[in-house]
């Protein structure tokens, strides 16, 4: 038998992960050692035995084999949480395309000193009182999950509950049962919905046993929270995607709230999906997973329909007297026919006036920030574009002295030109509508209204998001204008009107998931109204009132939308019926990029051309061909088998490793992407 070698890291701290040591595997341990396992190894000149972790294997020595030492033994009694996280990193590497080092850095917190802090933790505030008692639907859901767990039947559940049905209370009650059994829990929440309202409910029930993770924590603070979890000082970790890797050694439950949210998919390498990695982690340690949403992803509901997940439904709003809002659809084409050129339909304008008179609140939603979509010359048609990216510039600050044009991708900006650079015309105008313009128009139409705006521009400063939410919750504004961030996870009892100003903003994106994203946003927006006994109304303004996505959102009928959307995906071989792999390539050198893309396509064709199940498209230019002075191309591959796509990824990686001609070109892999590149 030929000698095999193991790559081992000795220090598990983040900054030492890049440094690996190669050891020989003794014959008697061959076949017993696996990735993630802790071993004892002779280290340094004195050959003192130290603990190390196996992160990879090789059949080739990196240096003279005679100079390599043998692994001493397997740490049989060791069940360190690091072993589980390393094994999870290996899963991410194999299934999403990444080096093992990058995968390890994804799952390991960065070890840095924490400066002395004088201020309190962001969410360290007095709790809200909570006296909710589960209703019959909630109680059945809680009982089902807990009893399955007590029998050792660890499952993945899809908790499909309408907006306001009390999914958070279900999570809290199940977590309390888990803690009583000595277990720990991780709760993932999209960053955008990680609000004081949500966190306070968990803190109220579990007090100091809760650790909060969010993007505002420094690397050192994040490491400190992870260390608290490792030591057992906390039993519940709440946070966005990265909280999934909390070092709990007795994990019993992982909750992914608003599981349809795109932020659960990493947009940097490795492009893992938290939902899939959570299910893998749960299977490794005997834990249950709950995926919760009012509008589940098509992928998750497809798996529930096919019995891969257990489906639990909540069909009633939890608060007594609360009902689903009344929804009306306004055809903006008819508004134009009747001479209304305002961005507000007559119906929406009347309802806003009613709410102001009754001292009730309104939310106006449009999924585009800025004053207008793009700026062009009315004389010659010239469109102002970013010199570094293949996109148009967006207008900000409207008709003010500070008006400017901004690239939302690289940040490039210029003062709003007075003349067209092509024909010298002064007839330059903005087209499309953004949050700034909606805010400006509302103030003109309703000068007596107190208006707040919440988007990426108004929430740049620390705690700005929380301040806006808090002000609106306390009734300091009558109308809240914003992007999708206003429809995520907020509960404002005095909001009785929600207006989707331009419902089809995302419907016509060049994206196979455009209808799903639009339906989710409209359904979630509708869910903000009628959350008390005051009732609520929703107005959807659109140029496509007969689109199945708009109709289903207006009916608040998820199943109706799912059936139509699945038929479309099936017809065009899109996920979840088919699996898809995107090979995304970029380089600052355009000619080299072209050769690189063709070379990769040739690798695929050489090894998989006889497999008729595989459908390969490209290479072709990405939606945005030039971004930040880099040229970008893509290859799409579809197959019913995810294993086939993983093998293609493996083959491309292995061939590229041996070819140094394209060192200035970069590739990443995205399985079942949530966007069209």
Spatial separation of the C-alpha atoms in residues 192 and 582, rounded to whole Å:
27
In this prediction, residue 128 carries a pLDDT of 81
Say if 471 falls within a structural domain: yes
Same domain, 210 and 359: no
For residue 614, the tally of other CB atoms under 10 A from its CB is 18
Same domain, 226 and 275: yes
Same domain, 290 and 359: no
Total of domains in the chain: 5
In this prediction, residue 193 carries a pLDDT of 67
In this prediction, residue 565 carries a pLDDT of 96
The predicted-structure confidence for 79-134, as pLDDT tens digits, reads as follows: 678 888 989 999 999 999 988 888 988 998 766 655 555 444 444 444 485 567 89
In this prediction, residue 123 carries a pLDDT of 45
Say if 125 falls within a structural domain: no
Same domain, 90 and 186: no
Task: State the CATH number of the domain containing residue 188.
Answer: 3.40.50.300
User: Of 275, 291, 314, which residue is a domain's last?
Assistant: 314
Say if 320 falls within a structural domain: no
Residue 3's contacts (CB-CB under 8 Å, 6 or more residues apart) are 24, 25, 61, 65
Same domain, 80 and 32: yes
> 392: which DSSP letter?
B
User: Of 433, 454, 475, which residue is a domain's last?
Assistant: 433
- Which positions of the chain have pLDDT values less than 70? 1, 11-18, 77-79, 110-127, 129-131, 193-196, 321-322, 370-373, 431, 489, 530-532
- Over the range 352-376, which residues count as b (16 or more CB within 10 Å of their CB) and which as e? beebbeeebbbbbbbbbbbbbbbbb
Same domain, 407 and 443: no
- Helix (H) or strand (E) holding 314, with range, is strand 310-314
Task: State the CATH number of the domain containing residue 68.
Answer: 3.40.1440.60
E-assigned strand segments in 124-277 = 156-161, 184-188, 210-212, 236-239, 251-257
In this prediction, residue 118 carries a pLDDT of 40
Q: Are strands 666-671 and 579-587 parallel, antiparallel or unpaired?
A: antiparallel
Same domain, 278 and 344: no
For the chain, the C-alpha Rg in angstroms (whole number) is 27
Q: Given its phi and psi angles, is residue 439 left (phi above 0), alpha (psi -120 to 50 degrees) or beta? A: alpha
Same domain, 214 and 288: yes
Contact 433, 368 (CB under 8 A): yes
Same domain, 551 and 597: no
Same domain, 331 and 477: yes
In this prediction, residue 351 carries a pLDDT of 96
Same domain, 200 and 169: yes
Residue 461's contacts (CB-CB under 8 Å, 6 or more residues apart) are none
User: Of 569, 596, 612, which residue is a domain's last?
Assistant: 569
The parent domain of residue 390 ranges over: 371-433
Structure pTM? 0.88
In this prediction, residue 1 carries a pLDDT of 67
Say if 319 falls within a structural domain: no
Say if 331 falls within a structural domain: yes
Same domain, 659 and 584: yes
């Amino acid at each position: 038998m030929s000698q095999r070698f193991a790559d081992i890291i000795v220090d598990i701290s983040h900054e030492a992960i890049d440094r690996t040591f190669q050891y020989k595997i003794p014959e008697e341990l061959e076949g017993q050692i696996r990735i993630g396992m802790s071993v004892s190894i002779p280290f340094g000149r004195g050959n003192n035995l130290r603990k190390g972790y196996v992160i990879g294997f090789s059949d080739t020595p990196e240096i003279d084999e005679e100079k390599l030492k043998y692994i001493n033994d397997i740490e049989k009694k060791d069940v360190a949480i690091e072993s589980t996280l390393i094994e999870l990193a290996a899963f991410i590497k194999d299934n999403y395309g990444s080096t093992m080092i990058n995968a390890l850095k994804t799952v390991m917190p960065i070890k840095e000193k924490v400066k002395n802090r004088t201020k309190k933790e962001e969410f360290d505030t007095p709790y809200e009182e909570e006296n909710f008692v589960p209703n019959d639907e909630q109680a059945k859901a809680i009982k089902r999950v807990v009893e399955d767990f007590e029998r050792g039947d660890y499952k993945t559940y899809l908790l499909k509950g309408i907006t306001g049905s009390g999914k958070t209370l279900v999570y809290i009650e199940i977590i309390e049962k888990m803690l009583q059994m000595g277990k720990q829990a991780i709760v993932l929440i999209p960053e955008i919905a990680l609000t004081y309202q949500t966190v306070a409910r968990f803190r109220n029930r579990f007090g100091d046993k809760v650790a909060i993770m969010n993007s505002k924590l420094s690397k050192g603070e994040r490491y400190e929270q992870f260390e608290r979890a490792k030591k057992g000082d906390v039993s519940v970790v709440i946070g966005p995607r990265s909280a999934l890797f909390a070092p709990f050694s007795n994990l019993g439950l992982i909750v992914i709230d608003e599981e349809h949210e795109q932020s659960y998919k990493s947009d940097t390498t490795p492009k893992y999906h938290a939902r899939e990695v959570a299910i893998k982690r749960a299977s490794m340690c005997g834990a249950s997973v709950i995926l919760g949403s009012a509008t589940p992803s098509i992928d998750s509901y497809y798996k529930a329909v096919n019995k891969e997940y257990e489906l639990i439904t909540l069909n009633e709003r939890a608060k007594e007297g609360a009902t689903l809002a009344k929804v009306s659809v306004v055809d903006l084409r008819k508004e134009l026919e009747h001479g209304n050129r305002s961005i507000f339909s007559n119906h929406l304008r009347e309802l806003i006036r009613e709410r102001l008179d009754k001292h009730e609140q309104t939310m106006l939603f449009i999924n585009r920030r800025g004053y207008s979509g793009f700026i062009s010359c009315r004389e010659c048609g010239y469109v102002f574009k970013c010199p570094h990216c293949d996109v148009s510039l967006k207008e900000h600050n409207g008709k003010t002295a500070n008006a400017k044009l901004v690239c939302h991708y690289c940040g490039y900006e210029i003062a709003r030109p007075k003349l067209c650079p092509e024909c010298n015309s002064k007839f330059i105008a903005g087209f499309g509508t953004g949050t700034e313009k909606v805010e400006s128009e509302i103030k003109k139409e309703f000068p007596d209204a107190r208006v707040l705006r919440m988007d990426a521009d108004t929430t740049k400063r620390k705690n700005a998001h929380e301040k806006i939410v808090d002000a609106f919750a306390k009734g300091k504004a009558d109308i809240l204008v914003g992007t999708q961030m206003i429809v995520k996870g907020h509960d404002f009892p005095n909001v009785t009107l929600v207006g989707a100003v331009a419902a089809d903003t995302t419907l016509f994106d060049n994206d196979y998931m455009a209808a799903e994203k639009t339906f989710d946003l409209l359904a979630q927006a509708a869910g903000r109204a009628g959350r008390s006994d005051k009732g609520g109304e929703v107005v959807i303004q659109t140029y496509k009132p007969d689109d199945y996505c708009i109709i289903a959102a207006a009916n608040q009928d998820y199943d109706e939308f799912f059936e139509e959307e699945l038929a479309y995906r099936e017809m065009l071989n899109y996920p979840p019926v088919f699996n898809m792999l995107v090979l995304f390539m970029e380089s600052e050198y355009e000619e080299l990029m072209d050769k690189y893309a063709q070379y990769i396509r040739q690798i695929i064709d050489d090894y998989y051309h006889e497999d008729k199940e595989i459908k390969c498209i490209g290479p072709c230019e990405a939606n945005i061909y030039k971004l930040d002075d880099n040229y970008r191309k893509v290859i799409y591959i579809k197959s019913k088998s995810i294993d086939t796509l993983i093998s293609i990824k493996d083959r491309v990686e292995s061939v590229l490793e041996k070819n140094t001609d394209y060192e200035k070109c970069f590739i990443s892999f995205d399985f079942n992407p949530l966007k069209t590149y």
